Structure 1
Amino acid sequence: MLYFDHCASTPPFDEVIQTVSEVMKLQYSNPSSIHQAGVAAEKLVTRAREVMASALQVQPNEILFTSGATESNNLAIQGAAMQKKSRGNHIITTGIEHASVYECCRLLERRGFQVTYLPVDSSGRIRITDLRAAITEQTILVSIMHVNNEVGSIQPIEAIGEVLKEYPRILFHVDGVQGLGKVPVKLHEWGVDLYSISAHKLRGPKGVGVLYCREGVQIQPLFAGGEQERGLRAGTLNVPNNVAMAKAVRMTLERQETAVTKLRELRQHLIQGIDSIPELVLNSSRNLEEGAPHVVHFSYPGMKPEVIIHKLEQHGIVASTQSACSSKDLKPSRVLLAMGCNEARASGGIRISMDAEQSIEDIVKLAEALRIIVKELKPLEKGQHRR
């Protein structure tokens, strides 16, 4: 099987699986307990926090362990909004955010907050001029993803940070789930206040994530309970997964430079393969500076994407349509519509997300399978292709 759905989830490193198993067997005490076994578990979490902080070049007390990126995003956005509501009620985000950000903002709208959804260009990137124009005296939070989970567009986080340095009272949150390990991350340099990470996108375990919360930034917790994680995330810490996530992040970043070089090569070959099939339309940016190295997104206008997905499975290839959270939604892609694609193109998208351990031969097999599938499906096309 050729697995091209790494944006949805990644196969854990063998070392990560081993770590989870060993810690579960040996360190099952509650790290909040004061007895010796609890202290030993707490030391493991402390070390994991230090490893995470070192990887991100931040301070250990700025690392908050969560159950995953959805919780991290909600804690950052709702926590910031509720903390800052006495000063203002305006939030700025984009129309192409992951559901865990987009729906969170929709929820806050129902609670009386005002949200501006910045438009994006045909590459899926915001314009800095639009951001500047959207800022008001009521703006309390800007939340913009680092790398889009569907088409792979890279947002100009550094430039956004430069703008927001002129507004020190506005918090800056970044959903970094598809960014870390694939593109540079410089949280302090860019002025990022909050940054969300998920372990299972980095060959770590599911059910664990991190929210980087810059020292001095105040947010409100999502739920009441104990005083774990600076009082911002109540609940018994998941020691095995916390430790395993730190290992996965460390291993990913140690390999990042080599991996990105390989991924860019794979990406270029895949784009060439897609270009050779006239019925397919590339949605991801061709520019290596604007598109993440591990994602290529294209459409077959007039054809249901689930048909192509199942056809690819018959060739032993796993791919996806939208994000895993939206893959069963038959509506046109919200991301592609925001990028200016027509409904036929927005309804026929396929996402290929790769890993550096894959080869050019794997890409050739994928391109050949697509060529065969398109030839089989062409008589069934609905409507005309409009690029």
Structure 2
Amino acid sequence: MTLKNQIHFYFALLLTFVLLAGCSQPAAVIPIATQTSTDEAADTATDTAQTIWQVTDAGPLKFNPGTTFMQTPGDLKPYTAIRFTVSALQGQQVSMWLTTEPGSAEAPLATLTIMDASGTILTSEPLTYWSQVLPIDQTYTVEIKSLAKEDILYSFRIEIPAETVDPASGAVYEPIDLSVCQLLKQEMTTALNKEVHPEPYAPFLDAVGREAGQGCRLTAAGTGADFSDPRSVVNTLISTVGAGWTQAQDYAADGVTGSAAGLYRDMGLMLIKVNWKPEMGVECPADQPLDACGLSPEQKIYSVEVTIAQNTADFSMDGSWVDANTGFTLNLYQDWKQVYGQHVVVVQDGSKIDSLEASINGWLKGRVATVQFQSSFTDQPGTAEITYIDVNTIQWKIITAPAGEFYLPLEATLLRTAQ
């Protein structure tokens, strides 16, 4: 059963009584550097004529120390644009959003144009959202152009998390179905008794697996009067939004001001993060931890985030695999990146049968699964790599042999068999 169908089944009864509703959550506003007007013009093709854009150069965007998010407002007259630059490192995921007032359901009233250091335009217009893991360290030029025939207000958001990933793994996740995102949003709303802001298409960053892409993001906010502590909120979300999912232990984290968890199901990954910080204007002594600062519950400002995406892997190790030379057999199952199953090998004319019902368990990275295996002749485990070659072929190689007697081959090439 697919991820979508499983979640639909789980929430079917709930949806009989609950209406889905969107909501919004304002973000902190950080003004950009003082703008300096120039008379530069950029030629842009229109349906009927060539438009001359009057461009305002705003210089480089500068984040406040310790921040990874910025939102800046502005206004544009018809046929005007604002230009600025932004720098980031190789492997950082840069994401940008553009909204306008008045809004338009038919066509955007402004567009983003993004150019790399060589001046190559990376976007097609009109565009109001862009996200990419950078292939190299680079400074980008961003222009916000008005497409309206009247004055408009705009809001520009940009996120650049500090974590980096391999650029080759920067697009391995894709958003879950919109209806599933809405189902999870409603479940989160009920669990927290708070408004939840859904973004069906938002940046998805797996800092543990060092992979990225796009996903569904659900966010909520509150104070210590709403939430007792970060771990309790995470546990609530695991048991509700994450019901039916399996926890990935490598993703669990806890601290004074935050907690996190990761869960997987089919090819989906769900990341849960809950953090709090002191209310703006509240200062705590630098020589003591925040939890000893004597803050009231209302002075603890909470942010809650759940992001969900599906891995786009185009292969699976699910199936029965046999080495024709030795009869060594692997019956494998793959759930997201977890690979598990059992082995069978018969040697010495059938006098030795090395087999256990659940003897293989490990994790996939790229096309190689590093697994721990258990022989039925020793209580000491060994380590092996299983490499996916193609739809019909895998390779087995023992990396660390177990202490004691075992009969699994050191190396083998196995072919998929009919189920």
Return the TM-score normalized by structure 2.
Answer: 0.27
Whose helix proportion is higher, 1 or 2?
A: 1
Whose strand proportion is higher, 1 or 2?
A: 2
Higher relative CO (Cα under 8 Å, sequence separation at least 6) belongs to 1
Q: Indicate the structure (1 or 2) with the bigger Cα radius of gyration.
A: 2
Return the TM-score normalized by structure 1.
Answer: 0.29
